[in-house]
Amino acid sequence: MPVTATAEAARATRRRGESNGSTYWVTTFLGANRHTLPADAPLPGEDEIYPMAFLVEQDAGAVVQPHFHQADQFQVVVDGAARLGTHEVEGVAVHFTNRFSAYGPIAASEKGVHYFTLRNGFDPGAKYMPGARMELRSRRVRPHREAVVDPSPKATLGDLAVADEVLCKAVMPMAADGLGAWRYCVPAGAELTGPDPALGRGQTWLVLSGGVTQGLERLGTFACLFVYPDDAALAVRAGAEGAEILCMQYPLR
C-alpha cells in the first residue's frame, strides 16, 4: 500500500544539521534516519525496501563533499542553485546515483539550494571521500551509475490552468532494469495512472506544484508518495489548480 507524507505534516520535523563542514536544515517526510531512529530500534536490512524522503535546505555557499551511500537514491533540486559534481543545477533538476557510487561535491550558490533526497532503502549516513575509499572499494556495485537530468523550470499555476490534456515527459527514459523518471502535467480534475511499479524496485512520487488527491487524501505541493513494487499503479486526480508531479522508479537489483 502506498505511503504518503505532506509538507504540512513534515514541517514539525525541520531541524538544523551539520555534516562534514556543511550546514543545512533538514525536514523528514518518510522513514527514519540515524538522527530519528530510536537508539534501541533494529536497523532495517540493507536489502529491505524501506522508503526514505527528506528535504535538505543547504546554506548559501555551503559545500557537501564527495561521498556515497548504501542505498540507491534520487535527488530533486526544487529551489535555489548549486554545482553538483560538474553540473550546474537549478529550477527542477533530477539526479540519480546507485548504491556505493560516490558523487559530488554539492556546492550551493549564493542563493543556497533546496533538494529532496529520496531512497527505497535505509541508509545509515553518508560516507565521505577520500576517508571512506577503502570501504567503497570493498562494497562498490559495478558499474558506477550516475545520471543528471537537465534542469527546467517548475510549472506555474498559470501553466497548469491552460493545460487541456495530461502531458508526460520521460526525463529519464526507462532502462532495462526499470530505472526511470517521468514528469507529468495534469489539468484540473484530470486523472493520471502511473507506470506499473512491478517494473522496478518501487517508486517515489513528488508533487512539484498544484495538488492531487489519492483516494481520500489531498496532497499539495511537495507531498511525497512511495509506491511498493507489489502495489497497483498509482492513480491520482488533479485538484482545482491542476498539478505537476514527478515519478521516479528505482532499478531492480
The mean-pLDDT minimum among 10-24, 50-64, 206-220, 229-243 falls in 10-24
Higher pLDDT, 41 or 167: 167
**What is the reported pLDDT for 15?**
93
Domain extent listing, the chain? 8-148, 157-249
Higher pLDDT, 196 or 45: 196
CB atoms within 10 A of CB 234: 21
The mean-pLDDT minimum among 16-25, 34-43, 174-183 falls in 34-43
- Of the candidates 25, 22, 44, the residue with the CA atom closest to the CA atom of residue 34: 44
Q: Has residue 13 got a pLDDT over 90? A: yes
DSSP 67-101: EE-SS-EEEEEEEEEEEETTEEEESBEEEEE-TT-
| Chain centroid to CA 31 | 13
- Work out the average pLDDT over 125-141: 75
Helix/strand/coil (H, E, C) string of 139-193? HCCCCCCEEECCCECCCCHHHHHCCCCCEEEEEECCCCCCCEEEEEEECCCCEEE
Q: State the architecture of 157-249 in CATH terms.
A: Sandwich (2.60)
Residue 147: how many CA atoms within 13 Å on its side-chain side?
19
- Read off φ and ψ for residue 13, nearest 5 degrees: -90, -5
* 169-177 contacts at long range (C-beta below 8 A, 24 or more positions apart): 171/94, 171/246, 172/94, 172/96, 172/147, 172/248, 174/199, 174/249, 175/251, 177/251, 177/252
pLDDT 10s digits, 61-91 = 999 999 888 899 999 999 999 999 888 898 8
Higher pLDDT, 37 or 101: 101
Residue 39: band (very low, low, confident or very high) from pLDDT cuts 50, 70, 90: confident
For the entire predicted model, the pTM comes to: 0.93
- Of the candidates 120, 117, 122, the residue with the CA atom closest to the CA atom of residue 56: 117
**What is the reported pLDDT for 140?**
66
Domains 8-148 and 157-249 share a fold: yes
**91-113 burial by CB neighbour count: b if 16+ within 10 A, else e?**
ebbbbbbbbbbbbbbbbbbeebb
Q: Has residue 230 got a pLDDT over 90? A: yes
Residue 142: band (very low, low, confident or very high) from pLDDT cuts 50, 70, 90: low
The mean-pLDDT minimum among 16-20, 68-72, 91-95 falls in 16-20
For the domain bounded by 8-148, which CATH number is listed?
2.60.120.10
Residue 197: band (very low, low, confident or very high) from pLDDT cuts 50, 70, 90: very high
Q: Has residue 33 got a pLDDT over 80? A: no
* Mean of per-residue pLDDT scores for the chain: 91
The owner of cell 557510487 is: 101
- Read off φ and ψ for residue 160, nearest 5 degrees: -70, -35
Q: Has residue 177 got a pLDDT over 80? A: yes
